[in-house]
Structure 1
């Protein structure tokens, strides 16, 4: 993972949702791209930006 990766808690704050909402998105298959490392989810900032852009209709 790059230096631009965030924990689920920090990624949720970046997206403006709660960590439990982001977890629900993951379980529903609607979350931004992420990696699970030994049960710990990591999200790349670039993937979060792309996901936000797509949800806003820009992508």
Structure 2
């Protein structure tokens, strides 16, 4: 089965650790991280994610 791509745009380390712990238990997900809005936009434009999780309060 093809792994699902999850793009996570988050600057808070505790939430990043949470997402890693959450999705690490599931084998069919591949995580990609960005810690700024600009980097997140670049990441999203460069590929086709199956899911994006974006910090609403990201500066």
TM-score, normalising length from structure 2?
Answer: 0.28
Report the structure, 1 or 2, having the larger helix content.
Answer: 1
Relative CO higher for 1 or 2, CA cutoff 8 Å, sep ≥ 6? 2
Report the structure, 1 or 2, having the larger strand content.
Answer: 2
